[in-house]
Chain A
Amino acid sequence: MLVNQFLLLGAVLFAIGVYGVVARKNAVLVLMSIELILNSVNLNLLAFAMRSGTVDGHTFALYVIAVAAAEVGVGLGLVLLVYRNRRSISVDDLSEMRG
């Protein structure tokens, strides 16, 4: 198997995730797109780990998964709070910071 087939799959997922972050309005869907990005990173980490025959990539992939769990927890907490205050979770409605 080529190294690149995994790396390119990761790149495709990353690009799709970027599209999702940009194009989605629903905050939960934005979080899901971020999950796509994180997973593509993990795919790369593990592909490199196999290529180099070391374990470090696995370790960091696990860290990424743990951080992702924390991120989703806090992210959804924020979304919930926003929803409670505004009855909407559209990120476009959060434009109070307009300069």
Chain B
Amino acid sequence: MMPARAIAAASGEAAHLLEGGWFLDHAWIIPIVPAVAFLAILLVGRRLPMKGSELGVASMVASLVLSAGAAWQWIGRVGSAAEGQFVEPVVHTWSWWRIAGVDFTIGQHVDGLSVLVALVVAFISTLVQVYSLEYLRGDRRYTHFFAALTLFSAGMLTMVLAEDMILFLLGWEIMGLCSFMLIGHWWEDGANSRAALKAFFTVRTGDVGLLVGIATLFFAADGWTRETLGLSGFSIRGIAAWALSGEPDATVITVAAIALFVACIGKSGQFPLHTWLPDAMAGPTPVSSLLHSSTMVVAGVFLVARLYPVFFVGFDVLGPGPNPVMVIAAITIVIAAALAFVQTDIKRVLAYSTVSQLGYMMLGLGAGAWLPAVFHVFTHAFFKACLFLGAGSISHSASHHSFDMKRDMGGLRRHMPVTFATWVVSTLALCGVFPFSGFFSKDEIIDNVGNNGYSFFMWVGLGGAFLTAAYMTRATWLTFFGEPRGAAAGHHGHDAHGTHGDDAHGTHAGPHESGPLITVPLAILAVLALGSGLLNATPFGAGWERIKDWVEPVAAVVPAESHAGGDVRLVAAAAPSAAPTAEEGDHHASPCGTQTPEGGVCYAPQLAHAAFKWSKAALSMAIVLAGIVLSWLLTSRLFGARDPRLVGLTGRSRALRAGHRLLVEKYYLDALYERVVVRAIVGPIARAAYAFNQRGLDGVIHAVAAAARGLARVTYGTLDQRIVDGTVNGAGAVAHRAGAAAQPAQSGRVSQYGALLFGAAAVAALVLVLTVT
């Protein structure tokens, strides 16, 4: 174990020693705490007074405190840097295995991005665990639930803070496993375990890409990174610098970027692998909230943001044409938003909304709007978690564990004022209404996409905003307005999860507000959904763009120095102050990302930021308001007044019916995967095996049998009848008597034979060993 030194690099003359701090140096404790708590819950959880949940909550609070400390010190570190100076991440590595002079290391990589995401993850995890205390009370596998939830957070935090791709992969896979356990938490219901399997396998399909991408990057970058930086080809810093060094072959880096992006498609539910995400709603609501607001699905976005230089160079971001990330993201935004219109399950609406919002993040990343995309991760976590927890609160306290908006909800605003208020705040944030947080992130993405020259995708984004506003208005109206229906009106009868042993809540008289363990997290999240946008409020001037200062890496040329000691060629030895940006203070002059950096390496590409214009904001506001108003009118006429012109419209118009059917069938993608792809692969293999068995093997056996019969006839006639028979008859008599004596041992039981065989062999061996000296 050898702790490598913390790296505090100075760039050129404007060298400032960057501040560090205990929390930054010990950020690796953040994922360790929940990991240890997971083990503790497994071992002693059942014996504790609160069945292990207190360990989970306590560990998440500890992680939250540590992340907050790290964030605080990171802000200090950024503040201590000079203008235009690259803020080195706080990296510590330990080598755990050394073979043939190569160290395998494990370590932490703390920079603005990881601190931001770690803080969000720890925060949402804490709230979700508190919420689960109430939501899953009395559940049969309460302890296991908290164990899996805690391990899940540990996996995400590991991934966020990982120094190298191996550890990143580890965290990624831990999350995949835990998501499987959590989605299938109520696995006695066949649909739930199918959803868990579907999520697991779909994500695994993408994970192949991650493995291929990591391997490609390692073999392509390892030599360069060792020579220049003394880092392995798994190191995230090494890969970033390599991608921007002008060194990589265009094909190789494109292949790597495609492979990694396939993994992101799977994990972040992008088209065409988004189908698992809505089905994953089968899990308990806190799980949906955690997985689909800030952790699991954001992992893919995080991967792109983390290895952004690879995607930047590999996909030629900011280049003239559209790149795969943007195209996939644009498709995802539109199709997922359209699907949200035909859902009756409130959680599925939110699931498709998540898919669509992830599309926005990917669109931002693909179009070079790195910071707005990352900021959208931040704000989305709060309002989406709030919406999911609100949906859970409704089903928990008002609709008898049903999530069906059309059948069991309606008019709930009178019964659940807190849930209603938080829902409305979060919905407005999701729609991007000024001054809610979604406005500052989503509008920034759309704005920057247009500013970087992709006007078509900007209009797709605006269209998506219209759809978002419309389907969220529909869901809000169905849930909270109109006349109460089904369970919300007090009708008992069907209890969707009554079979799961949580019947403790099944005795409510009617819809009512949830308890404080549920409403307090909701309120906290709603406040953040309202206010978190102000952390990067571009409209109010540069002074408000705090997240930008704290999180976005400065694209400056940094002198390459060895991170591992030893004799490593120092690229910058002859050019000590070759970082022009540091002196000019003009960010746009940085060569990073566009040309080969001279005299050093770059860790981040130079990106442009759109100047804010109120006219553009007014345009998007108008579109969002149009969506809300139009949807409100249509929904209230259709479901409230039962306007005869609208009711049954999908039955009357053929075009509308076909469209509706296409959406209900989810574009037939599930059918495609299950019937066509799976059958096309599995069927032929089975058939080929069968045919081989029937013809190939049987043919051989028949031929051998025929030959043997011929031979036997000859033998029988001459040899057998005369010579052998006499012997055999005598031997048979002996064997018959011996067999009768040995019959008790011939029970036909395999294990008894095994015991006798091993025993005899062992005794014989022992005799041999003892006699042979």
Contacts and interface: CB of A to CB of B under 8 A. Distances in A.
A99 B753 CA distance: 12
A99 B746 contact: yes
Contacts of B750: 91-92, 94-95
A21 interface: yes
B755 A22 contact: yes
B426 to A, nearest CB: 49
A21 B758 contact: yes
Nearest to A15: B762
A89 B751 CA distance: 13
A94 B750 CA distance: 7
A51 interface: no
Contacts, number: 34
Interface string B720-750: 0000000000000000000100010011111
B754 interface: yes
Contacts of B754: 21-22
Interface in A7-37: 18, 21-25, 30
Contact of A96 (B739, B748, B755): B748
A92 to B, nearest CB: 5
- Interface of B, secondary structure class, is helix
Interface residues of B, number: 12
Contacts of A98: 746-748
Interface in B679-704: none
Interface residues of A, number: 15
B758 A22 contact: yes
Given A18-B758, A21-B758, A97 B748 contact: yes
Q: Which of B746, B749, B755 has the most CB of A within 10 A?
A: B749
Nearest to A92: B749
B580 to A, nearest CB: 54
Contacts of B739: 99
B737 to A, nearest CB: 14
B751 A95 contact: no
A95 B748 contact: yes
Interface string B752-769: 001100100010000000
Interface in B392-440: none
A99 B747 CA distance: 7
Contacts of B749: 91-92, 95
A18 B746 CA distance: 20
B755 A95 contact: no
Nearest to B745: A99
Contacts of A25: 751
A98 B743 CA distance: 9
A18 B751 CA distance: 11
A25 B747 CA distance: 15
20 contacts: A22-B754, A22-B755, A22-B758, A24-B751, A25-B751, A30-B751, A91-B749, A91-B751, A92-B749, A92-B750, A94-B750, A95-B749, A95-B750, A96-B748, A98-B746, A98-B747, A99-B739, A99-B743, A99-B746, A99-B748
Given A22-B751, A94-B750, 8 more contacts: A18-B762, A24-B751, A30-B751, A91-B750, A91-B751, A92-B751, A96-B748, A98-B748
